[in-house]
Structure 1
Amino acid sequence: MKIIDLRTMRGPSYWSVKHLKLIVMKVDLEDLAGKWSNAIPGLASRLTKLLPGVGQPCPTPDSSKQKLKYPPLTLEQLTDGEPMCHVIQHVALELQRLAGMPVYWGKSYPSAHEEGVEFVVFSYQEERAGRVAARAAVEIVDALCQKQKVDIKPIITELHNIREEEFFGPSTYSIVAEAVSRNIPYIRLKNTSVIQLGYGVNQKRIQATTSTNTAFFAVDIAGNKNRTKAMLADAGIPVPRGTTVYSIEELRTAIEELGFPIVTKPLDGNHGKGASINITDWKTAQTGFKEAQVYSRAVIVEQFIEGFDHRLLVVNGQLVAAAKRKPASVLGDGKSTIQELIDQVNQDPRRGEGHEKVLTKITADKHTMAILEARDLTLKSVLPEGEELFLKSTANISTGGTATDVTDLVHPYNVLLAERAAGIIGLDICGIDLLTSDIAIPLNESRGAVIEVNAAPGFRMHISPAEGLPRNVAAPVVDMLFPRGTPSRIPIMAVTGTNGKTTTTRMLAHMVAAQGYKVGFTTTDGIYIQGNQLEQGDCTGGKAQSLYCVTPR
């Protein structure tokens, strides 16, 4: 078999109006033309053994019809006989699903005019991954038909890497999904992680959870923990005492002044990288200092505040969610080793690699090994039944931590404190980390403290907490960018036909411009905005239709 043509559909197409992201592959079956799966001895068993998920149903049944929305390709069907391109379609979908991209829709059609040629159409989540899956599916099915061994691990790894590189993170995805639900269009700007919401003068842009409303100076302040702490302290917000050190000698002096326990963290760090908490001895303090200097020459040394880690999310000056965070941990059962307990925790279907799922798998990195060594433990040690072991010193979700929603428990004083902190730093989307024994008690009474203010805070702990109510924190972000009633689009017209498209486009542009609007259009002559030619050449056809757009006067 060989691929004759491979195309990517983006939006409604001849193949489907409902499914907007499609790979359309034209396959020449060659020697397998006219043969179905039952004509190849052992193909059914080899395929289902290699890809067991091919025969597993989509997890979302269509309850109205009491049947599966996307029927699987079962061993029984393969044994009875299925068209070869139908098999290719299911393999391409399953490869993507194994790489963390849940896609299910597909079709296969014989070519009306070419003998032995068929079309395979299937959904993709990431364009590049869909094209890789298409080629791999043809190669896999062809190899299985010839009884050759197939190793799918490199393919899945490549697809997973593509997903991690190109798919929206959970925070970005939540904002995009909320925008789409309000009929606000979006595009990803080429070769960037910047997402444009809306068109023309009505467009807004986001990058992760920073927006066009996010002030650069506010991000700069939040990135400098010393400056942040000083500004908060001046405004009467409780923060831990501390200082910045650059050497082991300065570290010793700082500890003599502050006393144990302490915290060390890089001055310009984020996501908990290089941070060590509850340090109670000189040896551990030196280790924490060195780990922090991996990320910043300047290291913050401050008092360790007793209490639980909380993240309060403020959007557009209002508290929208709060979560109690817990570092990655395992619970002893008296018989399993620490590594076995980690493996058991990682079997939770909610855990995945990176940001592909709501929780991240726990890994025993250098930081974990240092924690174990400090307690005279190894990965082969057996924890007593009921003993909980924290494997990280910070409660970040990206290192395997979990979160419990506590939005409804936050004391009004703490709500005001969080909103003030965001306003002092100047962030429109702000994550405030604080330590307190009880978020329902005013921070000044619980002897808690604000330990950090974050620009571009992650939303994952709020939209998919391990426990508690999920919070739609993307909604207030879209409300901020596009207040109700605010337009997100501009009028766009497409001109098509055989002759006279350019003349018609110019005439329409002239009519609209005469009404005082700013007009841009493309023709066979080039691209024009407000009557000025920006680019010369034929800018019509599939990639740049003969169209024009208008923006308000």
Structure 2
Amino acid sequence: MKIREINAMRGPNYWSVRRHKLIVMVLDLEEMEARPSNKIDGFFDRLKAMFPSMYGHRCSVGTPGGFFERVEEGTWMGHIVEHIALEIQTLAGMDVGFGRTRGYGEPGVYNVVFAYMEEKVGRYAAKAAVEICEALIKGEDYDLKYDIQKMRELREAERLGPSTGSIVEEAASRGIPWISLNKYSLCQLGYGANQKRIQATVTSETSSIGVELACDKEDTKYLLEQAQVEVPRGDIIRKESSLEEACRYVGFPLVVKPVGGNHGRGITVNINSLEDAIVAFHAAKEVSPAVIIEKYIVGFDYRLLVINHILVAAARRTPAHVIGDGKSNLQQLIDKVNSDPRRGYGHENVLTQITINELTSNIIKSKGYTLGSILDKGEMLILKDTANLSTGGTAEDVTDIVHPANVAMAERISKIIDLDICGIDIMTTDITQPLSETGGAVLEVNAAPGFRMHLAPTSGLPRNVAAPVIDKLFPKGNSGRIPIIAITGTNGKTTTTRLIAHMAKMKGFHVGYTTSDGVYIQNRLLMTGDCTGPASTEFVLKDPTVNFAVLECARGGLLRAGLGFTNCDIGIVTNVAADHLGLKGIHSMEQLAKVKGVIPETVLPNGYAILNADDDLVYDMRRTVACKVALFSMDENNPRIKALQRLGGISAVYENGFVTVCRGEWKMRIMKAEDIPLTYGGKAVFMIQNVLPAVLAANIQGFSIEDMKAALETFIPSPSQTPGRLNIFKFNNFTILLDYAHNPAGMRALQKFTDTLEATVKVGIIAGIGDRRLEDNNEMGSIAAEMFDEVIIRQDRHLRGKTEEELIKMLHDGIKMQDPNKKTKIIPSEKEAITFAVKNAIPGSLIVLCSDVIPDALNLVKKFKEQEAAGALVFDH
């Protein structure tokens, strides 16, 4: 079997609008297409032996063991690879269950689709599943344990930590979108100008001074002492020579810890000798140049979590430990603790497995034990110096029993240190009594405190401590969203996008928008090229200056990675026409419509899907959306429009020469079409079609008729506002029309416009497209033969899988089918083709350039204009 490609979906996609995290693997079964599972001796038994837990896979049978039934009866390897990819992720601690295997449109080639939690794990699972399947086919041994451990390691390296993850999950549950900003824990909540950021449990509203103070234990302790908060007696030293004097001043037992440490690193507790203090000093020096020597406070370790200066949770923490049974040795006792199903690798479970590192070995040795020693029944042996959950500790929720004096103290400390989120560590014998009465003390104030002990304590009530974080960042139900209008379709996407963006800018918004020629923030082009995929979308939504987004979304990005947003307010589908068929497994118009239909399916319930009522495939999308529907049509008497109007719906129509918005049967004439510059006096009918969904979106957004009219009057078809879309350059003796028409539907629309233009001769410069079907290129040639008196065939910069000769023949055959005598010239270079057409232009001629690299074509045409102005434009006739 051969893997052709592996893509990771990260947003709403062709396979599922709801399930965003999907791996899509294109798998060629090769000779295995003729060998289903029941044709391979021993395959079923080997599969069942390797994955007995697959009995839980119901498959299409719908009952436990259903998948095994399918394998025994005979199913194809793509289907089996799908189930293996799901199962090995589950065995690695990531319970995923969604999968699909569908034909790619070629014999023996399949789309194997399955869910993932972490992308690198999903990609690994795809490759491993194929390798496992091949080993099972051949009856070879396979090291499954290696794959499971590797996926666990990848997961721990890639996943958000439990604290960050809980905040993100809480945000998502409230409909607040989020974006990961780096490969660690920096995340953006919300979009554009309404975004907030978190990194672990530090937020964009956390005081940097507060964080600096919390990281400097010396300054923290000084401020708390000044505020009459109980803290242990202590000293700070930097040299070993000062250690003995510090120990005499503080008195044994004592604690040694780094000034700038966190998460328990470099801390040693309950030190009772100078020798042990020296060892602890050097351990602390590895973390920080300055070391704290302070009195060891007897009692229990408590963590008080304060968010927005309110105590929200408290936990009693116990270091990793074992309790003897009088029979088992230390290693056996540790193994028994680690066998607790609540313990896992890293952060995969509510508790972490206890590891035996150098520190643990030293603690065991200091007690006079080895791993082979047997503890007396009931004897407890502490294995770590700190009670952190990440080192195997446990936590008991005690929120409801904290004495009010201790609550007030914690909340006051958060204000003294100036931290909106902080974890306060105290040591006391009884948390139900004031610290001042128990001889307890505040040990540390932590910025970026871990939430895990509160979210999933070993015992006691779990606390949703992420909720108050989101309450603080997004009060009163604020979703952090900005208006998002997404546009898709075969033709007209870019112009519609640009027009809506222009309207929003005129209304006073700071607009970010993506197009097939670049990404713009307000009036600045910040990225060039085809920017209609999810990466460009995220570029806009991450920009903190943007408060209105208009996003062109093309087929390619949708199939490659899904959408770059979860939901939009308005989703527009301009049309669905034959283009890109035969690519990426999309072979029919219905499949193409399903791709485009992802956009309206992502519209929020109170938003609108704006659909073309003149296009059957687009109109049918109304059946799959969960939002309101608005329609547009070039025919005010379209029965679909009339039906919507009777229901009181919103529509936009071209009626009696006007662009009109209708709410129910009430009409609001926006502007006469022939007065809209974009339509070239009403001659460019397809531009009127682009105006209709734009004014409909503007009306839904609350723009007034005056707002829309002002925007339409100032949106001039030009290289600056509509590059490559009906750009007309008038020379003294001829005219050049530059357009992006690149498919039969686009060419037909352009033909209707050029038919209205007077010219002595019409010359067309066209190119075949390598990744389009034979019939598409033939049709492009045929239409060109109808449109032009002369045709120049050039080549695109990228041939996309076909040879120059093949593309020329396809176009030439299409031209000859329409007109065997059509005057045709072949000039592969676009620059040379344009130059030839200009140099040989006769008075009154029209040169129509269908270009795919708009900036280059525009620059060349502008160069000819400059030559003409300087009297240097020379003709060859």
TM-score if structure 1 supplies the norm length?
A: 0.94
| Equivalent residue, structure 2, for 1:61 | none
Is 1:108 the equivalent of 2:104? Answer: no
| Equivalent residue, structure 2, for 1:62 | none
Report the 3-state secondary structure (helix = DSSP H, G, I; strand = E; otherwise coil) of the residue aligned with 1:368: helix
Structure-2 separation of matches of 1:547 and 1:279: 54
Which is worse superposed, 43-52 or 541-550? 541-550
CA spacing shift, 1:480–1:289, aligned 2, 3 Å: same
1:264 Cα shift? 0.6
Which of 527, 531, 535 aligns to 2:519? It is 527
CA spacing shift, 1:500–1:455, aligned 2, 3 Å: same
1:192 Cα shift? 4.6
Report the 3-state secondary structure (helix = DSSP H, G, I; strand = E; otherwise coil) of the residue aligned with 1:495: strand
Is 1:551 the equivalent of 2:547? Answer: yes
Structure-1 separation of matches of 2:92 and 2:362: 32
Is 1:346 the equivalent of 2:338? Answer: yes
1:211 Cα shift? 0.6
CA contact (8 A) 1:95 1:156 kept: yes
| Equivalent residue, structure 2, for 1:203 | 195
CA contact (8 A) 1:433 1:453 kept: yes
Which amino acid in structure 2 is aligned with residue 137 of structure 1?
A
| Equivalent residue, structure 2, for 1:53 | 53
| Equivalent residue, structure 1, for 2:474 | 482
Structure-2 separation of matches of 1:73 and 1:9: 28
CA spacing shift, 1:542–1:343, aligned 2, 3 Å: closer
| Equivalent residue, structure 1, for 2:88 | 95
1:76 Cα shift? 5.3
Structure-1 separation of matches of 2:485 and 2:194: 17
Please list the CA deviations of residues 228-269 of structure 1 after superposition, one character each: whole Å capped at 9, or x if unmatched: 111111001100010012233211111112211101111111
Which is worse superposed, 19-28 or 516-525? 516-525
Structure having greater relative contact order (Cα 8 Å, sep ≥ 6)? 1
1:87 Cα shift? 1.5
| Equivalent residue, structure 1, for 2:369 | 377
1:126 Cα shift? 0.9
Matches within 5 A, 1:392-403: 392-403=384-395
Aligned-pair identity (%)? 53
| Equivalent residue, structure 2, for 1:215 | 207
CA spacing shift, 1:547–1:452, aligned 2, 3 Å: closer
CA spacing shift, 1:551–1:454, aligned 2, 3 Å: same
Which is worse superposed, 126-135 or 451-460? 126-135
Which amino acid in structure 1 is aligned with residue 84 of structure 2?
V
| Equivalent residue, structure 2, for 1:256 | 248
Structure-1 separation of matches of 2:537 and 2:189: 21
1:80 Cα shift? 3.8
CA spacing shift, 1:117–1:271, aligned 2, 3 Å: same
Which is worse superposed, 46-55 or 177-186? 46-55
Please list the CA deviations of residues 90-142 of structure 1 after superposition, one character each: whole Å capped at 9, or x if unmatched: 1111221222222111122234x322222211100111211111011011101
| Equivalent residue, structure 2, for 1:2 | 2
Which of 306, 311, 315 aligns to 2:307? It is 315
CA spacing shift, 1:72–1:290, aligned 2, 3 Å: farther
1:399 Cα shift? 0.5
Structure-2 separation of matches of 1:300 and 1:97: 45
Structure-1 separation of matches of 2:306 and 2:244: 37
CA contact (8 A) 2:190 2:481 kept: yes
Which is worse superposed, 312-321 or 270-279? 270-279
Please list the CA deviations of residues 322-361 of structure 1 after superposition, one character each: whole Å capped at 9, or x if unmatched: 0000000101011100010000000011111211211100
| Equivalent residue, structure 1, for 2:37 | 37
Please list the CA deviations of residues 16-56 of structure 1 after superposition, one character each: whole Å capped at 9, or x if unmatched: 23322111122111222143322222222222333333334
Structure-1 separation of matches of 2:4 and 2:203: 43
Is 1:172 the equivalent of 2:164? Answer: yes
Which is worse superposed, 430-439 or 140-149? 140-149
Structure-2 separation of matches of 1:548 and 1:335: 64
CA contact (8 A) 1:405 1:462 kept: yes
| Equivalent residue, structure 2, for 1:337 | 329
Structure 1 vs Structure 2 CA RMSD: 2.1
Matches within 5 A, 1:124-163: 124-163=116-155
Which amino acid in structure 2 is aligned with residue 163 of structure 1?
R
Structure-2 separation of matches of 1:542 and 1:341: 51
Structure-2 separation of matches of 1:170 and 1:483: 23
Which amino acid in structure 2 is aligned with residue 257 of structure 1?
Y
CA contact (8 A) 2:192 2:540 kept: no
Report the 3-state secondary structure (helix = DSSP H, G, I; strand = E; otherwise coil) of the residue aligned with 1:132: helix
Structure-2 separation of matches of 1:538 and 1:82: 41
CA contact (8 A) 2:342 2:349 kept: yes
Matches within 5 A, 1:531-542: 531-541=523-533
Please list the CA deviations of residues 482-509 of structure 1 after superposition, one character each: whole Å capped at 9, or x if unmatched: 0023241001112223443333222212
1:57 Cα shift? 5.8
1:200 Cα shift? 0.8
CA contact (8 A) 1:523 1:547 kept: no
Which amino acid in structure 1 is aligned with residue 12 of structure 2?
P
Structure-1 separation of matches of 2:533 and 2:229: 60
The runs of 5 or more residues in structure 2 that have no matched partner are 549-877
1:371 Cα shift? 1.1
CA spacing shift, 1:91–1:546, aligned 2, 3 Å: closer
Which amino acid in structure 2 is aligned with residue 396 of structure 1?
N
| Equivalent residue, structure 1, for 2:25 | 25
Which amino acid in structure 2 is aligned with residue 339 of structure 1?
Q
CA spacing shift, 1:499–1:523, aligned 2, 3 Å: same
Which amino acid in structure 1 is aligned with residue 85 of structure 2?
A
Report the 3-state secondary structure (helix = DSSP H, G, I; strand = E; otherwise coil) of the residue aligned with 1:249: helix
CA contact (8 A) 2:152 2:345 kept: no
| Equivalent residue, structure 2, for 1:368 | 360
Report the 3-state secondary structure (helix = DSSP H, G, I; strand = E; otherwise coil) of the residue aligned with 1:33: helix
CA spacing shift, 1:30–1:362, aligned 2, 3 Å: same
1:535 Cα shift? 2.7
Which is worse superposed, 486-495 or 462-471? 486-495
Report the 3-state secondary structure (helix = DSSP H, G, I; strand = E; otherwise coil) of the residue aligned with 1:484: helix
Report the 3-state secondary structure (helix = DSSP H, G, I; strand = E; otherwise coil) of the residue aligned with 1:385: coil
Which of 408, 432, 443 aligns to 2:400? It is 408
Which amino acid in structure 2 is aligned with residue 413 of structure 1?
A
CA spacing shift, 1:192–1:283, aligned 2, 3 Å: closer
The structure that has the greater radius of gyration is: 2
CA contact (8 A) 1:495 1:547 kept: no
Is 1:500 the equivalent of 2:496? Answer: no
Which of 283, 301, 305 aligns to 2:293? It is 301
Structure-2 separation of matches of 1:229 and 1:53: 54
Is 1:449 the equivalent of 2:446? Answer: no
CA spacing shift, 1:548–1:341, aligned 2, 3 Å: closer
Is 1:12 the equivalent of 2:34? Answer: no
Please list the CA deviations of residues 499-520 of structure 1 after superposition, one character each: whole Å capped at 9, or x if unmatched: 4333322221222222211112
Which amino acid in structure 2 is aligned with residue 88 of structure 1?
V
Q: By percentage of residues, which structure has more helix?
A: 2
